[in-house]
Structure 1
Amino acid sequence: MQRHIFGPLFEPRSILVITDQQLPLAQSLPAAEHPKLTKVQVQKGRPIEIPSELAGATAEQRLDLAVLCVDPARLAETLDQLARYRPRAAILLQSEWVDSRPEQTITLCRRWATLHGCLMIGPQSFGILRPHLGLNLSLNPTLAREGRVAFVAQSSAIVSSVLDWADETHIGFSSVVALGDETVARLAGILEYLATDSRTDSIALYVEEIGFGREFMSALRAAASVKPVVVLKAGRAFGSPQEDAAFDAALRRAGAVRVRYFVNLFSALKVLVHLRRPTGRRLAVMANGDGPSQLAMDLAIDGVPFASADFAVQTRMALSQLLEPGKSVFNPVITNQPLTRHLTRDLLHAVLNDTGVDGVLVLLSPDSRADLSAVVDELALIAPGVHKPIITCLMGDAHMRPLRRLLDDAGTPAFRTPESAADAFGVLATYHYNQQLLLQLQSPHPDGRAPDLHLARNILVKVREQGRTRLAAPEMLSLIEAFNVPLALRSTVNDIVLRQQIPLRVEVHLDLHFGPIVSVGVGGAIARIIGPDAGTDLAPLNPYLARLLLDRSRVWRHSLAGHVSQIAHEALLTVLEQVSIMVAELPDIERIVFDPIYFDDLAPFALDASIALRALPQRSDPQMQGYPHMAIHPYPYRWVESLEFGNEREGTLRPIRPEDAQALQNFIRGLSDRSRYMRFVSMMRELTPRMIARYTQIDYHRELALVVTTSEPDPADRGRKKDVVIGLAHYLRNPDGRGAEYALVVGDDWQRLGLGGRLMRKLILAAQEQGLDYIEGMVLSDNRPMISLMTKLGFTVDHEPDDPGTRRIWLNLVNRTKDSS
């Protein structure tokens, strides 16, 4: 199994520590079965002397990890001495000496790390902790508890504060990473490693700068697709509201959760460590007093991630038998009678059994009449075994703190205030909501509705030739028609419409990190009165994403949603979708504004519009360049190809989509035992849910899966045509970051028609465009048809010395011409 490129940093086999001060790592030196460690104590005024032989490293075997904590004035000398050991990774800890030339230090480190092929964290890093390995390669005085959360931060102060808090609240970590002044090792690479780390169940990030948005988004989406990711970002006071809204939109589309305040990060960590994920946002509250429940429910207002659950009739009937006379049987559930173990259990079960409840918040205030210890024991018994999250809040400190600790240790997080507890459920609800957005792709082009890219690009070329960066009205109209945008441009509007409708504004602008951002909000002169209320999202959109984007605008929800016809509503969704495609395919466009927008019975129309181009021309065909101006790689339509088989059958070769999940499962189930074994080297009869997600939820920036489909009648849907998968080829990037592992399988009834060759040629071209050095696959030695096909395509066949039954079949992509495949 190949080692991940970040393996030497997180799972080092050999470590060299060079320091001129006392480091806390000496308190937790690794045991014999852990990494080999050599320590060099630097003396002031004396030359640095590194042993000729290091523990775990030889002249042939590179050193895995170097940890440096020295006077910045001696850093260049230290790196010169270190070079002969060729470390794969290095951590440059913050020294007690002040660096008088920080910019030169960063330049020195960047050049040295690049020259020697070394991943580097720092300089000025707080370091890394790996509790399960007993490694404290940081400035923290103690090793953190072992747990399942990875915490990554771009601030030493934040890391030290979180570690101190976590020790008090018994929170453990799989990894803690403080990046410091990054040189070569980037946040994206850390995320990629943690996404595959078996010790990590969830990830918490504190970020200040994210760098190139595409790399950050690609790594974040890969991590959030398999593990919950919570992000706290600083710098809102120094950025524009548009930049902050763009970051919000990016996290939603990545499937991650953003928290706004430092205290919310703690709440998020607690619920991610302990709780099951809800399948919705409907919260039920149960309390032994009115005040706390009102404080919690005050957060369930417009725009927050959770809502108050409505109880079913059966639930209200059950509650009426348990509550004292006169008490409300609606949400929140409040009782003033002394709580007992049995009453707590019965109330909880009544609420948890309601299908309209996605989670429960239990609020307890000190009550001398009640046996709260027994109540807490019951909560600790029930919460871990139910399929819905139970969050608790025990208000107070002197008597309630030990009870909170009992619940934390039992696996149900307990909070001090109603607001923090309600916010914690909001984290879970947001996670569920954003995970739905993560799965979204552009819609397939309906027949005859693909944009006229040739016409659209010619329009922009002519504008450039005339030395302009703004389109005239006829040009805007032609561009709108080229992209099938159902929006009319008018110069006048009926006075009745003006009096009865609040106008909308649709805008697309370029964000520095995330590219084109689509926003919808109040338009016209009234916008100066109401203020900003726009919903935002990243391009490209599909109808589902467009609908959610529209719903985020308060003016739409409160003023227009019930007064615009369904036909006009659907047309507006199409406007949003097509405009997002326009800016994806035309990177020359800097800004689009339609304002004000009004509605008639059939469609929206705009009284004013403007389309502006960037100051400098961009490449005209982003498909060939991988859409570098987009944070999310659009669906690669250029790989779609119509095919003809024997017997006058037709099909399509195209990149896979999330909605192909069931068709792919049916394809695998329909393979013969031999074909299935040749592909998976096992007798598995179907894909696991995780395998289906891996094959169908593709980040086109880093990987690709292609299918060949044909249409067949679906008996379960009155004979309507459905796509049937008959072939699959995919590659997944290897841990080394340079190559990828491919796989190919064609249905038994569709073999010997050339489908395998067609799939692999496209796969090779895509791998070249993504800058891979090689692709490889492990093939059984008796799979002669596969070996023959790959040999014809130029692959090299290598014998595996440790496994005579398999062959490594690989292709070098470096300097390979694209037409050679």
Structure 2
Amino acid sequence: MSVRNLEHLFAPKSVALIGASERPGSLGATLLHNLLAGGYQGQVWPVNPKYETLAGRTCYAGVAELPGAPDLAVICTPPATIPAIVRQLGEAGTRAAVVLSSGVDARSGRGRSLRQQMLDAAHPYLLRLLGPNSAGLLTPGRGLNASVAASSALPGRIAFVSQSGALMSGVLDWARMRGIGFSHFIALGDSADVDLGDVLDYLASDGGTSAILLYVQDLRYARKFMSAARAAARSKPVLVLKAGREEDGTPAAASESGALAGSDDVFDAAIRRAGMLRVTTTEQLFSAAETLAYARPLHGERLAIVSNGAGPGVLARDALAYGKGVEAAFSAATNEKLDALLAPGWRRGNVVNLRNAASPELYRQTLELLLQDPGVDAVLAIQSPTATVASRDVADAIAPLVKTASKTLLSCWLGGEAVREARAIASGARLPAFRTPEDAVAGFLQLVQYRRNQNLLMEVPPSMAGTVAPDRAAARALVREAIAAKRYLLSDPETKSILRTYGLAVVETRSASTIDEAVAASERIGYPVAVKILTPDVMHKSDFGGVTLDLDSPEAVRAAAQRMRRRLEELFPQAKFEGYSVQAMARSTHAHELIVGAALDPVFGPVIVFGQGGVAVEVTDDHSVGLPPLNLVLARDLVDRTRVARLLAGYRGRPAVNMDALLASLVQVSRMVSDIPEIVELDLNPLLADSRGAVVLDARMRLALADRSGSTLDRLAIRPYPRELEETIDWNGGPLLLRPIRPEDGPAHLAFFDALTPDDVRYRMFVRIRELQPSQLARFTQIDYDREMAFIATRKNSAGVAETLAVGRVVADPDNITAEFAVTVRSDLKGMGLGKIMMQKLIDYCRSRGTREIVGEALPQNSRITGMVRKLGFTVRTKDEEGMREMRLVLR
């Protein structure tokens, strides 16, 4: 991932057009016209040996003849010429280019593709390439239109990034008609170099961009995308329109989890995990961007509706119910005030009908009242044009509420020409304005979903105390043994042996090669038992009588085993017979049959599946998908997104399931899949859950040789907790654990912050802060281990509770050139060497990652930190007039 030199791509001071032309309809002519017509104030240099002048400007024969090195080169020449042009540009000092030419994947006589030759030519000069096959880019605020778009773009604060160049002209025209402007409009093309992750990183820190819109067709580098997306979504709204929702003929999975985890479900899970919002149409994309930019952050999901007629209000309420939204419930005090304000006989309820002749003042008073109600989180005002009240007057009355309200206010203006001015007034006041009640409710529900996704990104999970520590060595040994014997599809007993190493509760199960062994196993387990035939070639054994339950005697076991062996031979003569599985009968009148599993997505790697289980799992199609690693918050979200979740909470005298046990099972499966790269599919179906706990009845696992070409962690879209960085040292007469911070460290981190003196807080934050906000706590404890690292020094106190004594944090830029550090020691432990220990830990970590330098800043009063880092080899200098100290250590 890299943002290096992207400023030359998106904010160039000069542009060279290689392949400029005057031939009507040609790529070179279109680009030259767009560059000159957009109002770009920088230098534009046409390049083509066929012309001396173009559009009244000097045309240069080649790169060598240019008056200087252009910041940006736009290339539209034949594919075979591109590698040489890129090399010439690099030698001249150009650091960014857009390649619009297609056909660059063709191979030359030397064997390497033109694409690879182009990349090889750019690499020595760090020249960044957008494309090939790109439709170009626009930066309207600078007047830059280096694209083939048929129309220009209005300046604005929305960045649009598209993997489709064909979409560019249509979207630009559509946006111009609606007055929507852009900070950047970028067509990625084939993304040979600059890709979606790079652009997200650049736009996340771009001060001129307030929202990022993505049109995505496919992803190749899930880890890079997820890191960039999570970072961007923490700073501004990121909305995604994904093409290709239908499955594309992916090979059939060998497990139920693999069949359930469709690629679109996995993409949805990734978007949620990154804190972004997915929409389904282009219009929704821009509508949601405006709504998120204008609306106040939601603190709840309860919507109140105000309308000047019953019909529009009821339509809005129906849309809210259909979208599973939540109606606001007004307090008694609010209802009493509404009684005094509205006409006699108004019907109390979520929809406040102001009647046809509602005045602007009545609208304003009603909205003010509802916005103050503690049972209301957002209000939708609907106005239909009438002969007696001008819609623009209503807009003038309610638009100022946006500035004073602490809650979200939305508006809907029904009609066309009659409400055009009202809609413009609302938009001008940053009041989201919709055309229909259904659109308005859809916009509100987008806010709700965005809030949920952001909460997943920010919420601090509870501790996993009490969860069994996995025996990873034992699990890996069992997997290695199976693979050595070329057993890639593990039986139920074999799978359960691995599950036990991760603390998952399983029904006692024994394998038997013969009928006599099955009877002996039944005697050891104790009757009644269930007997199942073992064969790797039939997924659903119950379909042919391969499962028999409640066997209560040796004779019953023997007869059932003979019968199912005979049925297997009759119906599946080619199937391999491997024996029988004998297990204790699990008794629970109130248990729910669930499925917990894992599958391997070709882009995002391992995914976790949860849902309603049993023999009808694919028919009920009630499941959700999540990306590992999971914590308790993410596991709970995985459960809550299924229909069966409502049943798990208990109903009609049926007790709720032990949710702690169920969530722990999900987390442990996530850990197992993250730890063991050979696991490619896993089914726990059914997993029985009731008020006592969760136990696995049937299990199936598929293994594959792990890819040894790189780190086993690379298969995961999100890097899990780096356990290998843990280190125990002797300090102050006892052991001290140095380890990366975890999301579950939130409570201990809060206690650590509370133990700091006001001066120490100011030295760390540069401002005085009394307490950490939840979003700050999440930001400190939920880190992307690919991007940053925070080490804590921790030990247990006299009460046996782990406490945080010091924190060392380092955040590297996307190119891993410079990393910023901060070290904080609990105020009562200063002067005991903890600061130096944490700083050395950071230095060693950055060296191992190949970081070029570590830098930091300190207030002039913080002499303790500057003195310490000087001893470690840092240079310290005064940075500005206020005396701020800059600390720097060059590592390579």
TM over 0.5: yes
Shift of 1:684: 5.2
Corresponding position of 2:76 = 69
In 2, distance between residues paired with 1:466 and 1:662? 47
Structure 1 pair 782–505 and aligned structure 2 pair: CA distance change class (3 A)? closer
2:158 counterpart of 1:149: yes
Q: Indicate conservation of the 8 Å contact 2:87/2:122, yes or no.
A: no
2:61 counterpart (12, 37, 49): 49
Following superposition of structure 1 onto structure 2, how do residues 614-629 of structure 1 map, counting pairs within 5 Å?
A: 614=704, 616-618=705-707, 625=711, 627-629=713-715
Q: Indicate conservation of the 8 Å contact 2:489/2:700, yes or no.
A: yes
Q: Indicate conservation of the 8 Å contact 2:687/2:695, yes or no.
A: yes
Q: Which moved more, 1:273-282 or 1:421-430?
A: 273-282
Corresponding position of 1:406 = 425
TM-score under structure 1 length normalisation: 0.86
Larger Rg: 2
Following superposition of structure 1 onto structure 2, how do residues 61-460 of structure 1 map, counting pairs within 5 Å?
A: 63-72=70-79, 74-76=81-83, 78-93=85-100, 106-140=115-149, 143-239=152-248, 242-301=262-321, 304=323, 306-439=325-458, 446=465, 449-460=468-479
Following superposition of structure 1 onto structure 2, how do residues 735-814 of structure 1 map, counting pairs within 5 Å?
A: 736-747=815-826, 749-777=828-856, 790=869, 795=873, 797=875, 808-812=887-891
Shift of 1:572: 1.5
In 1, distance between residues paired with 2:87 and 2:660? 65
Shift of 1:181: 1.9
Corresponding position of 2:639 = 550
In 2, distance between residues paired with 1:802 and 1:585? 48
Structure 1 pair 464–723 and aligned structure 2 pair: CA distance change class (3 A)? closer
Q: Indicate conservation of the 8 Å contact 1:17/1:38, yes or no.
A: yes
The amino acid across from 1:37 in the alignment is Q
In 2, distance between residues paired with 1:596 and 1:805? 62
SS in structure 2 of the partner of residue 124 of structure 1 = coil
In 1, distance between residues paired with 2:889 and 2:674? 34
2:603 counterpart (503, 513, 528): 513
What CA deviation, in whole Å up to 9, does each residue of 1:62-86 have, x standing for no partner? x532222345465455435434313
Structure 1 pair 601–694 and aligned structure 2 pair: CA distance change class (3 A)? closer
Shift of 1:703: 0.9
Shift of 1:645: 3.8
The amino acid across from 1:550 in the alignment is V
What CA deviation, in whole Å up to 9, does each residue of 1:71-114 have, x standing for no partner? 546545543543431321111236xxx85976855444333333
Shift of 1:407: 1.4
The amino acid across from 1:49 in the alignment is A
Structure 1 pair 762–163 and aligned structure 2 pair: CA distance change class (3 A)? same
2:683 counterpart (584, 593, 602): 593
Q: Which moved more, 1:637-646 or 1:195-204?
A: 637-646
In 2, distance between residues paired with 1:93 and 1:517? 36
1:470 counterpart (470, 478, 489): 489
Corresponding position of 1:631 = 717
2:47 counterpart of 1:28: no
Q: Indicate conservation of the 8 Å contact 2:596/2:611, yes or no.
A: yes
In 2, distance between residues paired with 1:72 and 1:774? 39
In 2, distance between residues paired with 1:423 and 1:660? 37
Structure 1 pair 448–124 and aligned structure 2 pair: CA distance change class (3 A)? closer
TM-score under structure 2 length normalisation: 0.79
SS in structure 1 of the partner of residue 598 of structure 2 = strand
What CA deviation, in whole Å up to 9, does each residue of 1:446-504 have, x standing for no partner? 36832111111111111112111123333323322211123436764789979976632
The amino acid across from 1:230 in the alignment is L
What CA deviation, in whole Å up to 9, does each residue of 1:8-56 have, x standing for no partner? 222334433332323312123444xxxx424124254899624757667
Corresponding position of 1:17 = 17
SS in structure 1 of the partner of residue 402 of structure 2 = helix
In 1, distance between residues paired with 2:828 and 2:644? 55
Structure 2 residues not aligned, in runs of 5+: 22-28, 53-58, 108-112, 251-260, 510-528, 531-548, 551-584
Structure 1 residues not aligned, in runs of 5+: 58-62, 714-719, 814-821
Corresponding position of 2:6 = 6
Q: Which moved more, 1:69-78 or 1:336-345?
A: 69-78
The amino acid across from 1:218 in the alignment is S
Structure 1 pair 540–735 and aligned structure 2 pair: CA distance change class (3 A)? closer
The amino acid across from 1:236 in the alignment is R
Shift of 1:267: 1.3
Q: Which moved more, 1:151-160 or 1:780-789?
A: 780-789
In 2, distance between residues paired with 1:664 and 1:458? 36
Q: Indicate conservation of the 8 Å contact 1:280/1:433, yes or no.
A: no
The amino acid across from 2:611 in the alignment is G
In 1, distance between residues paired with 2:498 and 2:186? 48
Shift of 1:284: 1.6
Q: Indicate conservation of the 8 Å contact 2:594/2:689, yes or no.
A: no
1:734 counterpart (792, 810, 813): 813
What CA deviation, in whole Å up to 9, does each residue of 1:255-304 have, x standing for no partner? 111112222112112212322221222222222233333333333347x4
SS in structure 1 of the partner of residue 300 of structure 2 = coil
The amino acid across from 1:515 in the alignment is G
SS in structure 1 of the partner of residue 298 of structure 2 = coil
Structure 1 pair 749–525 and aligned structure 2 pair: CA distance change class (3 A)? closer
1:533 counterpart (606, 619, 622): 622
Following superposition of structure 1 onto structure 2, how do residues 564-713 of structure 1 map, counting pairs within 5 Å?
A: 565-566=655-656, 568-614=658-704, 616-618=705-707, 625=711, 627-642=713-728, 645-646=731-732, 652-657=737-742, 695-709=780-794
Q: Indicate conservation of the 8 Å contact 1:395/1:417, yes or no.
A: yes
Coordinate RMSD, CA, aligned: 3.7
Q: Indicate conservation of the 8 Å contact 2:150/2:169, yes or no.
A: no
In 1, distance between residues paired with 2:694 and 2:640? 17
Q: Which moved more, 1:776-785 or 1:169-178?
A: 776-785
Paired-residue identity, %: 34
The amino acid across from 1:449 in the alignment is V
Q: Indicate conservation of the 8 Å contact 1:113/1:184, yes or no.
A: no
SS in structure 2 of the partner of residue 488 of structure 1 = coil
Shift of 1:743: 2.9
SS in structure 2 of the partner of residue 628 of structure 1 = helix
How many residues in Structure 1 have an aligned counterpart in Structure 2? Answer: 785
In 1, distance between residues paired with 2:401 and 2:300? 21
Corresponding position of 1:816 = none
Q: Indicate conservation of the 8 Å contact 2:295/2:431, yes or no.
A: yes
Structure 1 pair 634–372 and aligned structure 2 pair: CA distance change class (3 A)? same
In 2, distance between residues paired with 1:340 and 1:748? 61
What CA deviation, in whole Å up to 9, does each residue of 1:745-790 have, x standing for no partner? 4345434433234323432343345453443445789988756755
Structure 1 pair 403–673 and aligned structure 2 pair: CA distance change class (3 A)? closer
Structure 1 pair 711–341 and aligned structure 2 pair: CA distance change class (3 A)? farther
In 2, distance between residues paired with 1:385 and 1:216? 38
Q: Indicate conservation of the 8 Å contact 2:607/2:625, yes or no.
A: yes
In 1, distance between residues paired with 2:68 and 2:375? 58
Structure 1 pair 528–744 and aligned structure 2 pair: CA distance change class (3 A)? closer
Shift of 1:526: 3.1
Structure 1 pair 226–41 and aligned structure 2 pair: CA distance change class (3 A)? same
